[in-house]
């Protein structure tokens, strides 16, 4: 390692308290890095200054454990306003129990421009300059770079748009090879904090249900040798990866927003190798990862993977150039107009829109590509009532994540239908055809009332 970098490191190494004191004041806007990049020591230091500060805004994304101290120490939200770009189970719990916790919607693929635009065109972006950006990274390498690890995302744009940059070193962070924009040089860092090297948050393994298996079976028919797969989060996508390993499919490729354990299993089994990809051949492209410790260990210095900024990994115009891109995402509800809700339960924010729209568009534009949106046809309430996830219209407060014009293929355990392009009566017929049979007659009556049903419509069993 260069002696100059060693000295620069020593010069910039401070305590978390000192870094926060020098970077944050009343009225500041502070960005926490996303996912496992969320700071731990600096978050504690910022929370400790609650009585000295006023009106500090903190923005993060997919908040993982531990619960941020700025919320724990200020449950009423008197000083800290906490914003999350994609709600997690942690964020949902915080909003239910605390004040000052809000959702901050973005279209993930274009999100980098929001940060760069703060300085380039603030009127267009309607954003505010960032006073401080804080991220957990791996240790500095011999060339003076800190690798972001498993959260590339919008990090580089956050660094470029912030007045102060704080790196919190965690030796447990894997080195994620690029790609692009996967690291920051010490010359761009203002302060370095050495934390206690806590373990990274790992997603609990989600047990797939029999319904998930039926949905995955319906998805399999859209996959072919050499296609490129994007998987979202959840029990069904992980199950799908396991089921693919039981098929004769080969030479699959990967391009995704979120890297999950399924990709590791597919690559290790030889089913996925990227050799047929016409873009980024031989590489799985991703912008962040959440999964098991085994996944994080697999990511470390793995040349099969390419960590990219989200403006590359998710941009629909680039995705459209990937032949045979099959995008597989999950939803919470679909209405009879084919509108998709993938993020809320009425007024209650569950997750977010994230990059779903990016992949819905990009996969449909891809030569030979498809966009699949999957959901179980029903759910059971706490008191044991069976409810349909396919509804006539959304209840007040429910968010439309994907508008009806963009929806390609819908999949439930009862089948799959293409609803693009289809007239309203045709959409209604197809969608009711993959609803749970117990709810089809009721949905037909509602469709008639909504003037989107023809006498000649038939529902296939």
From 41, 110, 182, 257, active-site residue? 257
Q: Which of 448, 355, 452 is nearest to 401 (CA)?
A: 355
pLDDT digit string, tens, across residues 126-173? 566 789 999 999 999 999 999 999 999 999 999 999 999 999 999 999
The domains located in the chain, with CATH, are: 3-194 (3.40.1080.10), 210-449 (3.40.1080.20)
Per-residue confidence band for 124, with pLDDT thresholds at 50, 70 and 90: low
pLDDT digit string, tens, across residues 225-236? 999 999 977 778
CA 5/CA 45 separation, integer angstroms: 26
Percentage of the chain lying above the pLDDT 70 cut: 97
Per-residue confidence band for 316, with pLDDT thresholds at 50, 70 and 90: very high
As a whole number of angstroms, the longest Cα–Cα distance in the chain is: 81
Q: Is the pLDDT of residue 113 over 90?
A: no
Q: Which of 166, 112, 100, 158 is nearest to 137 (CA)?
A: 166
pLDDT digit string, tens, across residues 236-288? 877 888 899 999 999 999 999 999 999 999 999 999 999 999 999 999 999 99
What local confidence, expressed as pLDDT, does residue 456 receive?
82
Per-residue confidence band for 119, with pLDDT thresholds at 50, 70 and 90: low
CA 390/CA 414 separation, integer angstroms: 12
What local confidence, expressed as pLDDT, does residue 177 receive?
98
Q: Which residue has the tokens 């963009």?
A: 406
Joined together, the tokens standing for residue 202 give: 């790992």
What end-to-end distance do the CA atoms of the chain give, in Å? 68
What local confidence, expressed as pLDDT, does residue 123 receive?
63
What local confidence, expressed as pLDDT, does residue 120 receive?
65
Sign (positive or negative) of CA dihedral 69, 74, 78, 84: positive
What local confidence, expressed as pLDDT, does residue 47 receive?
98
Q: Is the pLDDT of residue 193 over 60?
A: yes
What local confidence, expressed as pLDDT, does residue 241 receive?
86
257 is catalytic: yes
Task: Flag whether the pTM goes above 0.85.
Answer: yes
Q: What is the mean pLDDT of the chain?
A: 94
């Amino acid at each position: 390692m260069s002696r100059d970098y060693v000295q620069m490191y020593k010069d910039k190494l401070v305590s978390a308290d000192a870094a926060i004191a020098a970077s944050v004041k009343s009225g500041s806007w502070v960005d926490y890095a996303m996912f496992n990049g969320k700071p731990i020591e600096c978050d504690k230091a910022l929370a400790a200054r609650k009585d000295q500060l006023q009106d500090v805004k903190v923005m993060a994304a997919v908040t993982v454990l531990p619960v941020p101290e700025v919320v724990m120490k200020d449950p009423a939200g008197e000083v800290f306003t906490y914003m999350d770009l994609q709600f997690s189970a942690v964020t949902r719990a915080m909003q239910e129990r605390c004040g000052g916790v809000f959702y901050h919607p973005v279209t993930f693929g274009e999100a980098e421009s929001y940060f760069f635009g703060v300085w380039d065109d603030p009127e267009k972006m309607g954003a505010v300059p960032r006073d401080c950006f804080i991220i957990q990274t791996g240790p500095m390498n011999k060339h003076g770079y800190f690798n972001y690890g498993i959260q590339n995302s919008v990090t580089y744009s956050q660094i470029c748009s912030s007045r102060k940059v704080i790196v919190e070193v965690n030796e447990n962070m894997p080195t994620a090879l690029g790609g692009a924009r996967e690291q920051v040089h010490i010359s761009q860092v203002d302060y370095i904090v050495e934390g206690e090297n806590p373990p990274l948050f790992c997603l609990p393994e989600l047990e797939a249900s029999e319904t998930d298996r039926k949905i995955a079976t319906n998805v399999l028919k859209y996959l072919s040798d050499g296609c490129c797969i994007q998987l979202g989060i959840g029990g069904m996508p992980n199950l799908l990866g396991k089921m693919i390993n039981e098929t004769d499919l080969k030479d699959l490729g990967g391009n995704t927003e979120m890297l999950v354990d399924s990709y590791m299993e597919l690559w290790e089994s030889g089913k996925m190798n990227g050799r047929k990809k016409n873009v980024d051949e031989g590489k799985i492209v991703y912008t962040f990862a959440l999964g098991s410790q085994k996944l994080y260990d697999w990511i470390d210095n793995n040349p099969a993977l390419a960590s990219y900024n989200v403006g590359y990994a998710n941009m629909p115009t680039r995705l459209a150039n990937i032949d045979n891109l099959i995008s597989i995402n999950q939803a919470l509800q679909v209405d009879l107009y084919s509108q998709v809700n993938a993020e809320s339960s009425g007024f209650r924010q569950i997750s977010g829109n994230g990059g779903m729209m990016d992949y819905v568009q990009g996969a449909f534009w891809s030569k030979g590509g498809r966009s699949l949106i999957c959901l179980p046809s029903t759910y059971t309430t706490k008191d044991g009532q069976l409810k349909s996830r396919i509804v006539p219209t959304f209840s007040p407060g429910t968010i439309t994540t994907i508008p009806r014009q963009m929806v390609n293929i819908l999949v439930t355990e009862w089948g799959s239908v293409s609803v693009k392009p289809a007239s309203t009566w045709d959409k209604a017929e197809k969608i009711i055809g993959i609803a749970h049979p117990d709810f089809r007659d009721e949905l037909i009556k509602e469709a008639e009332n909504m003037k989107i049903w023809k006498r000649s419509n038939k529902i296939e069993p």
